Amino acid sequence: MVLTDQQKSFLELAFGVTLNDPAPSVPAEVTAQKSELSGLITRLKRDDPEAAAAANARLADLAALLERGDTDAALEEMDALELDLAASLPPSNVAFQKLRLRWQEAKKTAAKDLDKLQSDILAEYDDPEAAGSAKRLDEVLAAFNAGLSDALDDIMNAEQGSRRSALCAEAGGIVSRYLDFVFGSPLVAHVETNPFRAIDISAILAQPLQLIEIELAKHGA
């Protein structure tokens, strides 16, 4: 229960105590991202303790945003820090595997959100035209069926050398096309401005794609 200022003043006068505002709750996605960042910083500490200390300081600075309840800004800063950390770390097949799973989970999350939006549209407008419009939402995920997960598997199974570099370049092309679609598709923009429910497709899909792009650049070098 959140007290109004009037209720708070009444209780303070009645009981002679000072009531502090409750700390804002931390969303699960923030907690998960902080855990991911802490793991990356731990890895970085082995190779570059100074950079790891700077990253820890950036992570600590995010506390002020969370205290103000500015979750969106905190997540944005966390994403930026994660990209910087990923670029600083050496190439890793383990990182590839984690990113492959993260990409698959991101697509599942986007699919669930799009399914809910389809249901909202059909519930509001139960007619053939609405059904056709709702069906177009399938085109969003269809744009990501070029086989990125399989391409990452091929890279992880390949030995170091020209073959692996070629596979990285091929996967990099897929990622580049995916990112172009995420940031430039009118359909994605249309979905994100729909009046039925908040859906941020670019936020869901862009971060894992950009991390994969960074890892590919390291492995293909």
Report in angstroms the alpha-carbon separations of 151 from 70, 215, 221: 37, 13, 17
- For the stretch 163-220, pLDDT in tens is 888 999 999 999 999 999 999 999 999 999 988 889 999 999 999 999 999 999 988 7
Helices (H), the chain: 5-15, 28-47, 49-67, 71-88, 93-124, 128-135, 138-142, 148-157, 162-184, 186-192, 201-220
Answer whether 0.85 is exceeded by the pTM: no
Residue % of the chain over a pLDDT of 90? 33
Q: Indicate the SS3 state at residue 129.
A: helix
Distance CA 28, CA 51 (A): 27
Q: What is the reported pLDDT for 39?
A: 84
Residue closest to 4 by CA, chosen among 19, 15, 14:
19
When pLDDT is cut at 50, 70 and 90, the band that residue 109 belongs to is very high
Tokens (6 digits) for 126: 């139960």
Is pLDDT above 70 for 19? no
Q: Angle CA(148)–CA(183)–CA(191) in degrees, nearest 5?
A: 100
Q: What is the rounded distance in angstroms from the CA atom of residue 61 to the CA atom of residue 152?
A: 34
Domain ranges (residues) in the chain: 25-90, 93-221
